[in-house]
A and B are shown apart, each in its own frame.
Chain A
Amino acid sequence: MLSIYTIGTSSLHRLHPLTKLTGALLLILATYLTNWPLVPVLVFAILLIIARIAGVAQRLTGTVLRLILPVTFSLFLIQGILFPPIGATPLPLGPITLTYEGLLFAYLIAARLLVLSTTILLVLFTTHPSDLVFALTERGLPRSVGYILLVSLQIVPDMTARATAILDVQRSRGLATDGALGRVRAIIPLIGPLVVGALVDVEERAMAIESRAYTASGPKTSLRVLADSIAQHRARTVMLLGIAALIIWRIATAIEIRIV
């Protein structure tokens, strides 16, 4: 299965997936709906402490840095230094002129992206995809959507292996994959077999689904059982109230600004 889940037994691993998802949503909304520059840093610090407890801090920071560095570089270069907002306060620094507003904008976007990616990856590192999807289908996500998500994660590695095989086969038959025109011409011989192979599989898979009575109506039972607790249930309620309060507060302040 295609996944970045890291096996572990920490308290974060053992939490109910919905608890983790609600917490993640609360933290992301808190950084995106408030404008105070310190909020993302605080949230990131909290996330790092949680990651340390879960034992994934090292992998997490590595993955996040690889993701965030190119975007941050572009942001500071383009939005922070080259094209500051109109009417910004200049801060001369040697040969280049920085602006307070430009840097603040670049910092805010970059810090929010940092929190967004860290939160998402922390949940994915400590939650098995099957548990995550199962928890969501228990709360009303259509079963077919859950099925599609899990099957996709399972067949991507097979499909990637098939794609590599197609590349090797076509090259051994003399397919040129160099030169500008050659590379464009190579698209169809590479993608074609991948698609046709998949379409041939469709009928077999559809029959397998039918023969297991997947589309039959009526109650279904599951082998998978997720551990939940009253404390977690209460925590989720509190976090949902926090999310609602954040959104109401944001709408209220937005209206106030418009009136003023």
Chain B
Amino acid sequence: MRGRLNSTALALIPLAIAINIAGGQLIKTLRLPIYLDSIGTVLTGVLLGPWIGLITGLLSNTIWTLSGLDAYALTFAPVAGVIGLIAGFASRFGAFRAGSPRALSAAIGAIFLFALSLFVVTFVNATPNPDGSLAFPVAADLFANTTNVIIFIVALIAGAALGYFVIRDAGYAGVAGLITGLVAAIVSAPIAAYVFGGVTGSGTDVLVAAFQASGANILASAFAQGTVSDPFDKLTSFMVVWLIVQSLPNRLLQRFPGTQPKVV
């Protein structure tokens, strides 16, 4: 971002923030277990680049607090900023321009759900040391257990189905969304642990409790909870933006530099 924001950015960022809020409320009427309150942030990152995406995320959470809708949102501003930033870089690499083969999407879904189930199983089978740290089981032990192997196989099949039938040709945007979810979990865990003691007073607290039951400390449980729930929320946000960008006429897209092929 060279110097000051131009008028297109100045016009789009407030609209994107309003989309975050109004879109989030709209999704609430559907009673889905996802928030989708960062669609505007992802959109600006995709259309105007990573730095504008970062600014949109930071200011969006400032608005949540400033408007009195959510007094605590400001503490999670870095998370929102990172989402816009990654969306912008993903768009620079062409994730929102091209479609991917469906086989690739299936592979992505399978690998992701497998990694997630491995993560959860490792956590659940971890044993706490007397000093409070966690002793994680060896991979060979995990694969020796029949229940675990069944879980892994189910995860692989479900992941492949998710990739093939849901992500379809949005594979590149999907990967970007999943990575964003992981990074969001890393950034938000320390905030959740130190400011809120790991809980937020919402449904995801059940997950935090479940991970703490396996002996993890508050920071690890907050991170594990984020790793399980964030990628799906961000995957959905990225795919919604991907679908919308695909359906936009070129006349409209030309105004935004982020989605245009680089002219060398």
Q: Residues of A with Cβ closer than 8 Å to B? A: 2-4, 63, 67, 69-75, 77-79, 82-83, 85-86, 105-106, 109-110, 112-113, 116-117, 120-121, 124, 129, 132, 142, 144-145, 147-149, 151-153, 155-156, 158-160, 162-163, 166-167, 177, 183-184, 186-188, 190-192, 194-196, 198-203, 205-210, 214-215
Establish whether residues A202 and B15, one from each chain, have CB atoms under 8 Å apart when the complex forms: yes
Q: Residues of B with Cβ closer than 8 Å to A? A: 4-8, 10-19, 21-23, 25-27, 29-32, 36, 39-40, 43, 55, 59-60, 62-63, 65-69, 71-72, 74, 128, 130-132, 195-202, 205, 208-209, 212-213, 218, 236, 240-241, 243-244, 247-248, 252, 255
Establish whether residues A156 and B6, one from each chain, have CB atoms under 8 Å apart when the complex forms: no
Establish whether residues B199 and A205, one from each chain, have CB atoms under 8 Å apart when the complex forms: no
Question: How many angstroms from the CA of A163 to the CA of B24 in the assembled complex?
Answer: 10
Establish whether residues A215 and B7, one from each chain, have CB atoms under 8 Å apart when the complex forms: yes
Establish whether residues A156 and B26, one from each chain, have CB atoms under 8 Å apart when the complex forms: no
| Closest B residue, CB atoms, query A187 | B240
Establish whether residues A155 and B14, one from each chain, have CB atoms under 8 Å apart when the complex forms: yes
* B132 neighbours in A (Cβ, 8 Å): 85-86
* B30 neighbours in A (Cβ, 8 Å): 177, 183, 186-187, 190
Establish whether residues A159 and B248, one from each chain, have CB atoms under 8 Å apart when the complex forms: no
Establish whether residues B36 and A187, one from each chain, have CB atoms under 8 Å apart when the complex forms: yes
| Min CB–CB distance A125 → chain B (angstroms) | 8
* A109 neighbours in B (Cβ, 8 Å): 195-197
Question: How many angstroms from the CA of A179 to the CA of B151 in the assembled complex?
Answer: 27
Query: Which of A113, A144, A195 is the most central at the interface, judged by chain B CB atoms within 10 Å of its CB?
Result: A195
Establish whether residues A124 and B240, one from each chain, have CB atoms under 8 Å apart when the complex forms: no
Given contacts A86-B132, A191-B240, A194-B19, contact A113 B195 (CB under 8 A): yes
| Closest A residue, CB atoms, query B74 | A120
User: Which of B8, B11, B21, B243 lies in contact with A156, CB distance below 8 A?
Assistant: B21
Establish whether residues B23 and A74, one from each chain, have CB atoms under 8 Å apart when the complex forms: no
| Min CB–CB distance B140 → chain A (angstroms) | 28
Establish whether residues B247 and A192, one from each chain, have CB atoms under 8 Å apart when the complex forms: yes
Establish whether residues B26 and A191, one from each chain, have CB atoms under 8 Å apart when the complex forms: yes
Question: How many angstroms from the CA of A4 to the CA of B183 in the assembled complex?
Answer: 33
Given contacts A166-B26, A194-B22, A195-B39, contact A71 B59 (CB under 8 A): no
Question: How many angstroms from the CA of A200 to the CA of B252 in the assembled complex?
Answer: 8
Establish whether residues A159 and B29, one from each chain, have CB atoms under 8 Å apart when the complex forms: no
| Closest A residue, CB atoms, query B68 | A4
User: Which of A78, A160, A198, A207 lies in contact with B21, CB distance below 8 A?
Assistant: A160
User: Which of B8, B29, B65, B200 lies in contact with A74, CB distance below 8 A?
Assistant: B200
Establish whether residues A205 and B198, one from each chain, have CB atoms under 8 Å apart when the complex forms: no
User: Which of B29, B55, B195 lies in contact with A167, CB distance below 8 A?
Assistant: B29
Establish whether residues B59 and A148, one from each chain, have CB atoms under 8 Å apart when the complex forms: yes
User: Which of B4, B7, B27, B244 lies in contact with A192, CB distance below 8 A?
Assistant: B244
Establish whether residues B199 and A198, one from each chain, have CB atoms under 8 Å apart when the complex forms: no
Establish whether residues A151 and B255, one from each chain, have CB atoms under 8 Å apart when the complex forms: no
* A116 neighbours in B (Cβ, 8 Å): 71-72, 195
Question: How many angstroms from the CA of A187 to the CA of B12 in the assembled complex?
Answer: 22
* A186 neighbours in B (Cβ, 8 Å): 30
Given contacts A187-B27, A187-B36, contact A155 B15 (CB under 8 A): yes
Establish whether residues A202 and B18, one from each chain, have CB atoms under 8 Å apart when the complex forms: no
